[in-house]
């Protein structure tokens, strides 16, 4: 198991890595120098790794002060599966921030993880990992980060079972060799989109990609964008261009792209561009584009740093089902951000006639079935997440899945399993008393 992660502060994940090593799994871990144990938030997780003798390095292992950022977030398992996306293995990245009493105060960052069964993709990622790992901790300091690595080109792989095409590319590449870079290839994908360009980006700052989007928008493609609240309206954010807004830099002039020299370009026929609608301190941390029925995601923001400075990965999935899954996520984020065309789901008021039974190992009477379905369809997020103590992902997915007309349907909701059903059953008396 090879792990390349920008940030790791969750002790449970560190413990799972240690447990894998104890089972006999060969484990290697690479992180970012800024987030090693010298950072107090990360110290407990790395204490667990060190206690379990898990070998790890950061991007100073090459003898330098560190690359731009070792910004990858991926795991390679058994040379057959790759877990990758925008998600750091952190409290804020997955679960929500804690107050001084250790209580969760928000939902955590909006992120994505994709798990891909592909020996071809695992081999490509392993080649990249091996460059960064070198001979591991200590030794010859022959790890390669940043521009020291072999110059990567876009590679095409396929999933093992369904033959789904996935294009893969790593960063960085020298900015003097723009052709074939990740940003150049993103423009190619954008230029092929004819029906939809839906954008969820933490930081989008590259002018030329935004210009290609405008060209497709003028030809009829539907362009919608949701950006992180802290980056959305900065002068270098292309979310401004999409919305037809000009924001001047601190010198009072419009920005010019630092690599290509492309001038700022606020769209005369704007698309729809909004700040995220998340809770305070939660971040819209996604890095994905939905381009017709193609999804582009990974660790790579659409920025010059992502392409020409940081160690990053991006992958492009050519599959209508995956595109539909991401579109569902995007629709929710766009609704939160814009307040436009938000689906209204009426509370379920029909008489419940479903019989009792057992789902995910939890047995319900007929009365408990009716109570559970009433909660699933009508409880607020706070009631599900805090009062009933569901995992926030189970709570959000339950709300997104409404109307839920059966226990079988509820049991298929992502993250609703034995634990969630047990908690919902226990919450019935409280719910009835409200």
Q: Which residues, listed in sequence order, are joined to residue 300 by a DSSP beta bridge?
A: none
Which structural domain, as residue segments, surrounds residue 298? 2-338
Q: Which pLDDT belongs to residue 343?
A: 60
Contact 191/212 with Cβ under 8 angstroms?
yes
Q: How many residues does the chain have?
A: 434
Q: Report, as ranges of residue numbers, the positions in the chain whose pLDDT lies below 70.
A: 341-353
Mark whether 57 and 190 lie in a shared domain. Answer: yes
Mean pLDDT rounded to a whole number for the chain: 93
343 in any annotated domain: no
Give rounded-to-5 percent helix, strand, coil for the chain: 35, 20, 45
Q: Which pLDDT belongs to residue 349?
A: 45
Q: Which residue has the tokens 């010859």?
A: 140
Instruction: Convert the pLDDT of each residue in 42-100 to its tens digit.
Output: 999 999 999 999 999 999 999 998 878 999 999 999 999 999 999 999 999 999 999 88
CATH of the domain at 40: 3.30.870.10
Mark whether 235 and 325 lie in a shared domain. Answer: yes
348 in any annotated domain: no
How many structural domains are present in the chain? 2
Model pTM score: 0.79
Q: Which residues, listed in sequence order, are joined to residue 113 by a DSSP beta bridge?
A: 85
Mark whether 299 and 195 lie in a shared domain. Answer: yes
Distances (CA, A) of 216 to 6, 197, 302: 34, 8, 17
Mark whether 276 and 371 lie in a shared domain. Answer: no
52 in any annotated domain: yes
347 in any annotated domain: no
Contact 225/274 with Cβ under 8 angstroms?
yes
Of 338, 369, 393, the domain-final residue: 338
Mark whether 330 and 368 lie in a shared domain. Answer: no
Of 338, 367, 394, the domain-final residue: 338
171 in any annotated domain: yes
Q: Which pLDDT belongs to residue 351?
A: 54
Contact 317/260 with Cβ under 8 angstroms?
no
Mark whether 270 and 364 lie in a shared domain. Answer: no
Mark whether 280 and 403 lie in a shared domain. Answer: no
Q: Which pLDDT belongs to residue 348?
A: 42
Q: What is the number of alpha carbons within 13 Å of residue 53 lying toward its C-beta?
A: 6
Pick from 132, 131, 134: nearest CA to 31: 132
Contacts of 141 (CB under 8 A, 6+ apart): 61, 62, 63, 134
Mark whether 48 and 157 lie in a shared domain. Answer: yes
Distance, CA of 134 to CA of 154 (rounded, Å): 23
User: What does R_g of the chain's alpha carbons equal in angstroms?
Assistant: 23
Mark whether 229 and 376 lie in a shared domain. Answer: no
Of 289, 307, 338, the domain-final residue: 338
345 in any annotated domain: no
Q: Which pLDDT belongs to residue 410?
A: 93
Contact 260/289 with Cβ under 8 angstroms?
no
Q: Which pLDDT belongs to residue 22?
A: 96
Instruction: Convert the pLDDT of each residue in 286-318 to its tens digit.
Output: 999 999 999 999 999 999 999 999 999 999 999
Distance, CA of 248 to CA of 250 (rounded, Å): 7
350 in any annotated domain: no
Mark whether 421 and 282 lie in a shared domain. Answer: no
Helix (H, G, I), strand (E, B) or coil at 433: helix
Mark whether 61 and 189 lie in a shared domain. Answer: yes
**DSSP calls for 110-168:** B--EEEEE-HHHHHHHHHHHHHHHTT-SSTT-----GGGS-----EEEE-TTT--EEEE
Q: Is the peptide bond before 248 cis (omega within 30 degrees of 0)?
A: no
**DSSP calls for 248-309:** --TTSS--B-TTT-PBP---SS--EEEE--PPTT--B--EEEEETTEEEEES--BSHHHHHT
349 in any annotated domain: no
Q: Which pLDDT belongs to residue 401?
A: 85
Mark whether 199 and 51 lie in a shared domain. Answer: yes
């Amino acid at each position: 198991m090879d792990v390349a992660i920008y940030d790791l502060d969750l002790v449970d994940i560190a413990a799972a890595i240690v447990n894998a090593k104890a089972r006999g799994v060969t484990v290697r871990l690479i992180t970012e120098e800024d987030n090693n144990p010298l950072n107090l938030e990360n110290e407990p997780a790395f204490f667990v790794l060190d206690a379990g003798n898990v070998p790890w390095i950061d991007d100073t292992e090459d003898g330098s002060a560190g690359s731009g950022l070792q910004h990858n977030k991926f795991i390679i398992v058994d040379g057959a599966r790759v877990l990758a996306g925008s998600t750091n293995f952190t409290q804020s990245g997955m679960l929500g921030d804690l107050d001084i009493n250790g209580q969760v105060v928000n939902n955590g960052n909006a992120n994505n993880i994709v798990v891909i069964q592909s020996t071809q993709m695992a081999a490509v990622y392993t080649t990249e990992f091996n460059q960064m790992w070198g001979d591991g901790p200590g030794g010859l300091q022959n790890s390669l980060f940043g521009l020291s690595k072999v110059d990567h080109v876009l590679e095409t792989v396929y999933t093992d079972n369904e033959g789904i095409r996935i294009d893969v590319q790593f960063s960085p590449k020298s900015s003097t060799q723009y052709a074939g870079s990740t940003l150049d290839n993103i423009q190619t994908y954008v230029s092929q989109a004819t029906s939809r360009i839906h954008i969820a980006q933490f930081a989008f700052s590259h002018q030329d990609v935004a210009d290609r989007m405008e060209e497709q928008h003028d030809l009829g493609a539907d362009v919608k964008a949701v950006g992180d609240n802290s980056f959305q309206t900065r002068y270098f954010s292309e979310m401004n261009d999409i919305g037809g807004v000009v924001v001047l830099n601190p010198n009072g002039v419009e920005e010019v792209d630092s690599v290509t020299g492309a001038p700022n370009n606020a769209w005369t026929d704007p698309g729809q561009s909004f700040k995220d609608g998340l809770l305070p301190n939660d971040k819209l941390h996604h890095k994905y584009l939905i381009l017709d029925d193609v999804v582009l995601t990974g660790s790579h923001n659409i920025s010059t740093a992502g392409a020409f400075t940081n160690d990053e990965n991006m992958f492009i999935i050519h599959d209508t089902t995956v595109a539909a899954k991401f579109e569902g996520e995007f629709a929710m984020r766009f609704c939160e951000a814009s307040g436009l065309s938000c689906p209204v789901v009426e509370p379920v008021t029909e008489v419940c006639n479903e019989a009792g039974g057992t789902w995910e190992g939890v047995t319900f009477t007929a009365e408990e079935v009716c109570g559970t379905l009433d909660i699933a369809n009508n409880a607020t997020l706070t009631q599900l997440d805090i009062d009933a103590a569901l995992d926030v992902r189970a709570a959000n997915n339950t709300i997104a899945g409404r109307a839920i007309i059966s226990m079988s349907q509820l049991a298929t909701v992502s993250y609703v399993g034995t634990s969630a059903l047990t908690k919902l059953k226990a919450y019935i008396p409280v719910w009835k008393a409200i």
